[in-house]
Amino acid sequence: MTALGLKPDGAQARPLLRDLASIALIALAGASGYWLFPDNLSFLTRVISVALLVLSLDLVVGYCGIASLGQAALYGAGAYAAGIACLNGVTEPFLLILIGAAAGAVTGLMMGAVMLRAHGLPQLVLSIAIVQLLHEAANKLAWLTGGSDGLSGMLPAPLFGLFEFDLWGRAAYLFGLGLLIVTFALLRLLVRSPFGMVCRGLKEDPLRVSALGISAFPVLIRMFAISGAVAGMGGALGAIATQVVGLDSVSFELSANALVMLVLGGLGQLTGALIGTVVFMSIEHVIAAINPFHWMTLVGAILVAIVLFAPRGLSGTLDELARLLRREGRP
Amino acid sequence: MTLPSPPFLWPSMQTALSIALDALAYGMALFIICIGLSLTMGLMRVVNLAHGAFAMIGGYIASYAARDLALGYAFAITLAVLGTVLIAIPLERLLFRRIYDRSELSQVLMTIGITFCVIGITNYVFGPTLKTIPLPAELARPVDLGFRSIAGHRLFVIASGLVVAGGLWFLIERTGFGIRLRAAVENAPMARALGVRTELIYAASFALAIGLAAFGGVAGAEFLPIEPYYALRYMVTFLVVVSVGGAGSIGGALAACLLLGSIDITARYLMPEFGNFFFYLAVILVVCLFPRGLMGRAKA
Amino acid sequence: MISRRRFGTFLRAGALAFAGSLSFAHAAAADTIKLGIVGPFSGPFALQGKNFQAGVEAWLTQNGKSVGGHEIEIVYRDLPTANPQQARALAQELIVKDKVQYLGGVYFTPDAMAITPLLKQGNVPLVIFNAATSAIMTSSPLVVRTSFTTAQTTTPLGKAAADRGITKFVSAVTDYGPGVDAEGAFKKAVEAAGGQVVETIRMPLNTTEFSPIMQRIRDAGAQGVFAFLPSGPPTLGFVKAFSDTGLKPAGVKLFATGDLTQESDLPALGEAAAGMITGFHYAISHDSEVNRAFVAAGEKAIGGPGQLTFPAVGAYDGMYVIAKMIAATGGKQDAEKAVEAVKGLAWESPRGPVKIDPETRHITQTIYLREVAKDAKGNWINKEIQSFPGQKDPGLAK
């Protein structure tokens, strides 16, 4: 595919099919998660919440080429906004998700406005500084956020007035899964839209795009706002499902983890973000449960191996494998 | 009755001097640790987030030598620098060499991976407790400067920082090695064509950077105590300082360390409850005003 | 930083637990009571998690692995840093999938707050081994706590400090929940005893360079300093700076909670900490038969001396409470009855006489005033010099 998304003839129909197929796959995987692991739904809900964060990061890193180690600023903004709203009587889950999305989008706008002033490494440093500042702020404003003790005591209303967010976590999981599928579908449309193509173009050849008379800042800042909304929804989902918001949701640690998961899965494909999140968090969960001594060493080794042997991430490697197989299958 | 604590305390002249001295010592400790990273990032174009891990390894070796084997401080430092470089050489050959011309993101990921491994292994081998490096009596003793007393060790750190800065400047700007290094950085194929063995130059400057990290880890241990999470705990600080200074510039790194060090220290004196705010606000401000760093080498 | 720091160093103990669970599986599959223990077994707080495990193992070694004919099986789950989402997921899995009858452990307050809403539905009591914010106890009636609160250890310290004739104090605490609690409790206690806190300093988390703070203390003209910092690298920096910048030589007295002088940090602090006065609920060097037996078992479980510290005693006493719960319910899962049974429970712990307060379900205990000093063998210890028996949590007192 060329920079501006000009595709060879006959390729137009295929992406749409691929999109539908991947959405069906997500729904299938989600449903089988529900049936196969009925006792792990809280964990699976957490995976979905983080998956939204990683998706949002893919929009910025994978599609616009802006490296960020501060994406949790947007996730945390959504989580705290939803949590605070819930404590103040707004308990309808759908409304809380919207509040989270709005808070994330606003924070995304501000973050973008600062980060777009630099490029490369200084930009990365800006993202770190922003998430650290917000972390400090959340700690200082203990009257509002609960500070280091966490914001707790929120009781979201039952989903559709019927299904409680309870110990078994079925409502939370299905709610999250629905949210993820809808978001994913919308994002697919977004990245295929002219707007998405311009972003991709800015990443790959900014000079050429500006020669077309498009200025980068308004495009990129819009993407920041969208990315913020997606991350904010993830945060709000976490707040609803856990009923506690901690300082960890606006941390450098979470941001860095999200980046690791994204690169593990593969940049700029949306599906890579999902694969990376599920694989990383599952490995972590399983290994943690059998009590290893050296989980961290293992993750380190995995990271090194990926950079050396699978530079395009898991999904990129899968694609390549598929292409090889196809080629071999041909006479 | 309790007096409300003044939110903002204007220091007297003497206090200001005293704070400036602390800031100088802290900034110099940062400088010794970070300058190696600045060289790798600016000259070799590798974002080596594992830099702190090497500083930590240096600290562990020195602690082991000085505390468990009861060797002298100077000997412990030498051992730490040599030992860390020795550990780093196979890593350079096997891992770092493959990411010299890869994207920044790949470099970030691989070096984070290496950091994780180092932390995991360190925790397993040395345990999770803090390690100290015993100082010799002449450095442990407070020195009376008239207006205050200061730990002798801090004066040692200040002096070391100056020596490192001067030595590096001389090495890079005034020696044959420096010329070849700069040539390799500016245009590697051309340098190779002219008979410069760039691989060797890279390996040597990598070793130099690691050695400085190890020295910084030991000298700065009184400021940043040695424990397994050292490598991650201060990773952001190191990265921020180098970027603010402008990667590859000795003067820039020195300026950034002194600027951020004094903002950090002064803010902690004036308004400790907002200490971190000032640090990161300053970072944002400097990066926005000087997107290439205080004295960054402009990329061609 | 990047969160997954789970290389829990517990190969040996983990293998032990694993082997144990295997043998129970066929020995008494019909009547095995599972305990889920959540703690930071890896990551920067791994030492504290290790101490949870050492406390639990010490209790099992001394009392056997069954209570009233019911086998006990421990399921450890690692939660390296404060992460309520992960805490909830782990607790849910322990309750729903592993079918534990009791939950124990929990190092951080937000994690406890994420677990308490699950207890009633899961019919599971939670025995907290550490998490020290007063408010946790009011979030569910099924919580019992065997650790301490910052206010509980600080209040007697404040009184003792003021009683030493020092009138001018500066308080310097880390700027987060427990620090703010400690500052409040100390100030209240000092003022009640006629002293004065002339300045309160809140220090940023993660700071390791404290000379500007010391300068501020000096400028305030304090005779005594109260400090609270979370255990780890910052405490070393603080205590060293206090001594290096000349405050200690000038005769300023340093008071702190026992977090600053946990036994595993004492060798690193060394001479700089000598003479420091701390208030805490437990010292490894506490002089009693029960404690000597506990320390011997605990050090064996943790793999040698030098790493055993206060969370171990919270875990050990937590196991005592859980065993009493199992006995009282005849092994049947009944959280309310279990908690009811231990209200008012009193026993001799390694830290001294303790009691579960029937009103608050928090532990009532003796708080000791200790001084950092060398013992007969030349090791640094927290030497108990005064005791304040029967201390409840002032944060929960109505």
Distance from C-alpha of C17 to C-alpha of C8, rounded to nearest angstrom: 14
* In a domain? residue A331: no
C212 touches chain B (CB under 8 A): yes
pLDDT at A10 over 50: no
C309 vs B contacts (CB less than 8 Å)? none
Contact B277 A124 (CB under 8 A): no
Cβ-defined contact of A246 to C82 (cutoff 8 Å): yes
CA of B147 vs chain A CAs: smallest distance (Å): 35
Domain extent, residue C136, equals 11-148+287-361
Contact A295 C82 (CB under 8 A): no
- The CATH number assigned to the domain holding C216 equals 3.40.50.2300
Please name which of C282, C298, C311 lies closest in space to residue C130, comparing C-alpha atoms.
C311
Asked if residue C24 has pLDDT above 50, the reply is: no
Distance from CA of A10 to the nearest CA of B (A): 33
* Mean of per-residue pLDDT scores for chain A: 87
Confidence band for B8, pLDDT divided at 50, 70 and 90: low
Q: How many CA atoms lie within 13 A of B200 on its CB side?
A: 8
Residues of A in contact with B92 (CB under 8 A): none
The answer to whether C122 contacts chain A (CB < 8 Å) is: yes
* Chains near C (3 or more Cβ pairs under 8 Å): A, B
Nearest to A168 among C4, C11, C96 (CB): C96
d(CA A112, CA A228) in angstroms, rounded, equals 10
Range of the domain at B51: 13-289
Q: Which residue of C has its CA nearest to B221?
A: C237
Question: Does the pLDDT at position A270 exceed 50?
Answer: yes
Chain C residues with beta carbon closer than 8 angstroms to that of B11: 219
Beta strands in A140-227 (DSSP E): 151-152
Inter-chain contact A284–C117, Cβ cutoff 8 Å? no
Nearest-Cα distance to chain A for C377, in Å, is: 34
Q: Which residue has the higher pLDDT, C227 or A284?
A: C227
The pLDDT tens digits of the residues spanning A117-162 come to 888 888 989 999 999 999 999 999 989 998 888 898 888 888 888 7
Same domain, C269 and C387: yes
Residues C142 and C15 both lie in one domain:
yes
pTM: 0.89
Cβ <8 Å between B243 and A125: yes
- Considering its fold, how many domains does chain B have in total? 1
- Measured in angstroms, the CA of A228 and the nearest CA of chain B are apart by 20
Q: Are residues C240 and C350 in the same domain?
A: no
pLDDT tens sequence across B167-189: 999 998 899 888 888 888 888 88
Same domain for C108 and C192, yes or no, is no
CB A75 within 8 A of CB A234: yes
C241 is a domain residue = yes
Asked whether residue C29 is assigned to any structural domain, the reply reads yes
Domain membership flag for residue B257: yes
Query: Is C47 an 8 Å CB contact of chain B?
Result: yes
Could you tell me what percent of chain B has a pLDDT over 90? Answer: 37
A139, part of any domain: yes
Same domain, C22 and C117: yes
Backbone angles phi, psi at C381, to 5 degrees: -135, 170
Q: Are residues C269 and C157 in the same domain?
A: yes
**What are the tens digits of pLDDT across the range B72-114?**
999 999 999 999 999 999 998 888 888 888 888 888 889 999 9
- Closest residue in chain C to residue A43, using alpha carbons only: C89
- B-chain CB neighbours of C204 within 8 Å are 268, 272-273, 275-276
Residue A4 resides in a domain = no
CA distance A51 to C132: 32
Q: Tell me: do C77 and C215 sit in the same domain.
A: no
Using the Cβ of B243 and the Cβ atoms of chain A, whether some distance falls under 8 Å is answered with yes
Average pLDDT in the C183-208 region?
A: 91
CB contact under 8 A, C307 and B129: yes
Number of domains in chain A: 1
- For A213, the domain range is 21-251
DSSP bridge pairs for C226: C171, C255
Q: Does residue B282 lie within any of the structural domains?
A: yes
More confidently predicted of C314 and A299: C314
Task: Decide if B297 is inside a domain.
Answer: no
**Is C3's CB within 8 Å of A294's CB?**
no
Read off the CATH number of the domain in which B174 is found.
1.10.3470
Contact assessment for residue A167 and residue C121, using Cβ atoms and an 8 Å cutoff: yes
Kindly state whether residues C22 and C160 are assigned to the same domain: no
- Domain total of chain C: 2
Residues C202, C224, single domain; the answer is: yes
* Cα separation, B31 vs B224, whole angstroms: 13
Residue C89 lies in a domain: yes
Same domain, C131 and C45: yes
Helix axes A216-242, A41-64, angle to 10 degrees: 170
Task: With CB atoms and an 8 Å threshold, state whether B293 touches A122.
Answer: yes
Which residue of chain C is at minimal alpha-carbon distance from B120? Answer: C7
- C305 and C224 co-located in one domain: no
Identify all chain C residues contacting A297, using CB atoms and an 8 Å cutoff: 7
